[in-house]
Amino acid sequence: MRDTTIQPTAGAGTRGVRRAVPEPCAMVVFGGTGDLARRKLVPALYNLACDGSLPEGFAVVGVGRREQTTDAFRATHLESTARFSRSQPLRAETWRRFAERLDYVAGDFHDPRTFTKLRDWLARADEAHGTGGNRLFYFATAASEFPALLKGLSEARLLYAPGADATAPWSRVVVEKPFGRDLASARALDQLVAANLAERQVFRIDHYLGKETVQNILVFRFGNAVFEPLWNRKYVDHVQITAAEELGVEGRGRFYDETGVLRDIVQNHLLQLLALFAMEPPVTFAADDIRDRKVDVLRALRPLSAESVARDVVVAQYRGFRDEPDVARDSRTPTYAAVRLFVDTWRWEGVPFYVRMGKRLPKKGTEISIHYRHAPNVLYNSAVGAEAVPGNVLVIRIQPNEGISLGIRSKRPGPAATLQPVKMDFAYQTSFGKGSPEAYERLLLDAMAGDATLFARKDEVETAWSYVDLIEDAWHKSPNPPKMSEYPAGSWGPKEADELLERDGHEWRHARR
């Protein structure tokens, strides 16, 4: 990372944070007409344009197989940005100015001529838009295309080796998740990446890390004196992490059938949340210090055997998944998973973590809940309601209705000693008066600034794969694979997932809006 400045943050009692400044660059989106570009990337860039956060010298080009004019490409993105942008309604003048910097190059990723065309376009962008020779290549395609993209870019000499001179033009690559399909393919991809790029040019994106609420986990833990002392096996009974989605596979049947919930969510988003939640304090907030501590958590995950997978892992499909377009009629791809896992560190030994995620659940909601041990009931065991009133639960609402709440027991006013659960609640909307930016906005700016703090490092990705592979292997390679459960679309998942907790005397806290 070069050139860091203090960007002031406004308001009494707030502290400025050190952030790198995004530099002029041309961004190239491979898969420029795909779902991700339409739903997330271009709307994020447009919102950055609205906020005036894009570098002065900036242009973006989509690369895809489809032959189409630049006007048609812009029209497609106008329509999808109007639909998916977080800020509404679309500002016509801002879009017009943004669209002048939005272009399209058609070509096959396996054809060297595509990269020659791209090189010419980049040279023109430097002239027309002052992008200064800096290139941000975004791989928003299926992982199977990554090798062809690296080869094409490298042969066209579009990947420069980073020099000692910090002012020399740079090229960086942002790679979408899942990075590979398993440990072996992730390693092969890493080798290919290493043959063409230095690690500091590679940005493995996991958009959960760009969410404000996810970044706030570290501030909440290490910036407050009262919570961290209770963040361990002495006080915590168990932890639940839920990532529920109401949507199904939404026209991504082929991708999803190849990927499934373990590769789509568990290997990346879920394990990243777990790592931030369970990690030890880093020495500093430098990218590698944080990533070192996160990888410690992943390395400490208790290994799963075929036996423990059968006992502690539930995978399931929603009813109707196999009738979705582009999904195999005999598909064994899970759309839901629940895992009972342990982080075998000094801090967490013996504390069960129950994590679950799935599509077509009753509502969207991602949260972490920390269930504290009960206070000794000797004083209140005769109080009315003592049995039914839950102990303290701290809930970090990642999305929606972002915030943090602590459930406490209180005496209900009146002559009787009646206990009642009440809540202390922090809501982003109330405290900060505005919604948070989309994760992709923050991450794109960080990549333009060369700040890798919120991106996954090679060893994090590989360690996460070695855990997920254990589950995948038990399901796909075992001669007696455990049965695939089923759940009705719109329900909270299969009954086996409830049983996973019931065995330990617990129950899921339903994710709430």
Cα gap 182→168, rounded to integer Å: 36
Cβ proximity to ligand BG6, 245 vs 469, nearer residue: 245
Position 441 contacts ligand BG6 (CB under 6 A): no
Position 451 contacts ligand BG6 (CB under 6 A): no
Residue 506 bears catalytic tag: no
Cβ proximity to ligand BG6, 61 vs 261, nearer residue: 261
Position with the least CB separation from ligand BG6: 264
Bridge pairing between strands 353-358 and 202-204: unpaired
**DSSP conformational letter for 38:** I
DSSP-derived 3-state class of residue 117: helix
Residue 127 Cβ vs ligand BG6, minimum distance, rounded to whole Å: 36
Selection from 434, 9, 460 nearest residue 205 by Cα = 460
Interaction mask 356-385, ligand BG6, x per CB under 6 A: ----------x-------------------
> Which residue out of 129, 207, 269, 371 is catalytically annotated?
269
Position 264 contacts ligand BG6 (CB under 6 A): yes
- Establish whether the linkage from the previous residue to 89 is cis, with ω within 30° of 0: yes
Residue 219 Cβ vs ligand BG6, minimum distance, rounded to whole Å: 20
Residue 214 Cβ vs ligand BG6, minimum distance, rounded to whole Å: 10
Cβ proximity to ligand BG6, 171 vs 331, nearer residue: 331
**DSSP conformational letter for 177:** S
* Helices marked H in 342-494: 428-432, 439-449, 458-476
Position 257 contacts ligand BG6 (CB under 6 A): no
The vertex-268 CA angle with 263 and 271, nearest 5°, equals: 115
Cα gap 314→485, rounded to integer Å: 8
Cα gap 253→264, rounded to integer Å: 13
Candidate list 23, 103, 245, 257; residue touching ligand BG6; CB under 6 A:
245
Q: How many residues bind ligand BG6 (CB under 6 A)?
A: 3
Bridge pairing between strands 353-358 and 336-341: antiparallel
What residues pair up with 315 in beta bridges, in sequence order? 337
Cα gap 142→124, rounded to integer Å: 28
Residue 493 Cβ vs ligand BG6, minimum distance, rounded to whole Å: 16
Give residue for tokens 């979705």.
Answer: 324
Cα gap 44→88, rounded to integer Å: 13
459 phi-psi bin (left φ>0, alpha ψ -120 to 50, beta other): alpha
- Establish whether the linkage from the previous residue to 400 is cis, with ω within 30° of 0: yes
Interaction mask 141-160, ligand BG6, x per CB under 6 A: --------------------
- The radius of gyration computed from the CA coordinates of the chain, to the nearest angstrom, equals 24
Residue 473 Cβ vs ligand BG6, minimum distance, rounded to whole Å: 22
Residue 14 Cβ vs ligand BG6, minimum distance, rounded to whole Å: 26
Residue 336 Cβ vs ligand BG6, minimum distance, rounded to whole Å: 12
CA max distance for the chain:
83
Q: Where are the beta strands (DSSP E) in 40-166?
A: 58-64, 102-106, 135-139
Cβ proximity to ligand BG6, 255 vs 342, nearer residue: 255
Cα gap 262→467, rounded to integer Å: 10
Cβ proximity to ligand BG6, 331 vs 366, nearer residue: 366
* Helices marked H in 199-320: 212-222, 253-261, 271-278, 287-299, 306-312
Cβ proximity to ligand BG6, 333 vs 392, nearer residue: 333
Residue 488 Cβ vs ligand BG6, minimum distance, rounded to whole Å: 20
Position 402 contacts ligand BG6 (CB under 6 A): no
Cβ proximity to ligand BG6, 172 vs 252, nearer residue: 252
Cβ proximity to ligand BG6, 140 vs 452, nearer residue: 140
Cβ proximity to ligand BG6, 245 vs 257, nearer residue: 245
**DSSP conformational letter for 456:** B
Q: Do 47 and 438 touch, CB atoms closer than 8 A?
A: yes
Residue 255 Cβ vs ligand BG6, minimum distance, rounded to whole Å: 8
Residue 286 φ/ψ, nearest 5 degrees:
-65, 150
**Interacting residues with ligand BG6 (CB under 6 A):** 245, 264, 366
Active site residues per annotation: 269
